[in-house]
C-alpha cells in the first residue's frame, strides 16, 4: 500500500520547510495519525533538507512522540505510589480484559483504544486515577472501568452511525 503524503505536505506548508520546523511537523503528523508512521521520516527529512537520522532522532528522543499506532482513546492509568496503594493494578487488569489487551498488546485492533501505564499523573489526591486523552477520571474502581469503557464504545458506535 502506498503512503499518502498529502497530509504531510499540508503540515509542511503550515510549519515550513526548515530544520527548525521538525518538532511542530512531527507533532502535527502525530496528531493526525495518532503516531508517526515510519514512511514519514524519509519524506520529512528530504523536505526539510536534513538527514533522516536527525528527524528519527528527534522523534525517538521525546517521550511524547510515538512510532507505534495508538488508539483514538488513549487511556493512561497512573501507577504512582498513591494509585498503586489504592489498587490501580486491578483497574489496569479490568481495562485490559474489557478491551482484549495485554502487556504486549496495548492498542485494540480497531485502533479505538490504547492502554498505557504512567509513573505519575500528578493527581495523587484523586487516586486511583486515569486519563482518557486529556480528561481525568478520579477514584476509579473496576466497576467504573466497565461503565467508562461502555460509554466510550457507545461514543464510537454513535460516530460510526453518523459518519
Q: Please state the domain extents for the chain.
A: 5-61, 73-161
Instruction: Assess whether the previous peptide bond of 128 is cis (omega < 30° from 0).
Output: yes
The predicted-structure confidence for 105-125, as pLDDT tens digits, reads as follows 999 999 999 999 999 999 999
CA distance to 28, 79, 159, per residue, from 145 (Å): 31, 16, 21
Count of CB atoms situated within 10 Å of the CB of 27: 16
Q: What's 60's DSSP letter? A: H
The pLDDT tens digits of the residues spanning 60-111 come to 999 889 999 899 999 999 999 999 999 999 999 999 999 999 999 999 999 9
The answer to whether the beta carbons of residues 73 and 116 sit under 8 Å apart is no
Q: Enumerate the known binding-site residues.
A: 78, 83, 120, 124
The residue among 128, 149, 147 whose CA lies nearest residue 137 is 128
2-15 pLDDT per residue, tens: 888 999 999 999 99
The backbone region for 100, taken as left when phi is positive above 0, alpha when psi lies in -120 to 50, beta otherwise, is left
Known binding-site residues for [2Fe-2S] cluster equal 78, 83, 120, 124
CATH architecture of 73-161: 3-Layer(aba) Sandwich (3.40)
Amino acid at each position: 500500500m502506498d503512503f499518502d503524503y498529502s497530509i504531510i505536505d499540508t503540515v509542511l506548508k503550515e510549519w515550513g520547510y526548515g530544520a527548525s520546523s521538525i518538532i511542530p511537523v512531527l507533532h502535527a503528523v502525530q496528531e493526525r495519525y495518532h503516531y508517526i508512521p515510519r514512511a514519514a521520516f524519509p519524506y520529512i527529512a528530504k523536505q526539510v533538507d536534513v538527514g533522516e537520522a536527525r528527524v528519527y532522532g528527534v522523534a525517538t528522543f521525546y517521550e511524547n512522540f510515538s512510532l507505534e499506532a495508538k488508539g483514538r482513546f488513549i487511556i493512561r492509568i497512573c501507577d504512582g505510589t498513591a494509585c498503586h496503594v489504592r489498587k490501580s493494578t486491578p483497574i489496569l487488569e479490568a481495562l485490559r480484559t474489557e478491551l482484549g489487551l495485554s502487556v504486549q498488546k496495548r492498542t485494540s485492533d480497531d485502533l479505538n483504544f490504547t492502554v498505557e501505564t504512567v509513573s505519575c499523573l500528578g493527581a495523587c489526591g484523586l487516586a486511583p486515577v486515569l486519563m482518557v486523552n486529556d480528561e481525568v477520571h478520579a477514584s476509579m474502581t473496576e466497576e467504573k472501568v466497565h461503565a467508562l469503557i461502555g460509554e466510550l464504545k457507545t461514543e464510537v458506535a454513535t460516530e460510526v452511525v453518523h459518519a
